[in-house]
Amino acid sequence: MAAITITKDNFNKEVMESKVPVLLDFWAPWCGPCRMVGPLVEQLSEELEGQAKVGKVNVDEEIELASAFRVASIPTLAVVRDGKVTALQIGARSKNDMKKMLDL
């Protein structure tokens, strides 16, 4: 399953009401490090199917969500479990580091 595009319209359903942890990748198309992390995020979405969800939030299009998570630099990665942020990392990370954030 590919990473889900998260918007303010589907945020509650896909993230807050999720039965599994959700890794959120806050990114923008013009961000070089974001483009480096993007393929790893997609790989994780495939590898963790059924165990976790992976969502991508374009900060240029979803300013309200970026603000709610206090995103000041991108890429920012956040894990939401049971409606609460349980991990937050700023900057490019390895696939293994992202997996560890999920604490599966």
Active site (catalytic) residues: 31, 34
What's the pLDDT tens digit per position in 59-86?
999 999 999 999 999 999 999 999 999 9
pTM, two decimals, is 0.94
What's the pLDDT tens digit per position in 31-47?
999 999 999 999 999 99
Domain range for 42 is 4-102
**Do 69 and 76 contact (CB within 8 A), yes or no?**
yes
Question: What CATH number is associated with residue 11?
Answer: 3.40.30.10
Domains held by the chain: number:
1
Q: Which residues have CB under 8 Å from 43's CB, separation 6+?
A: 95
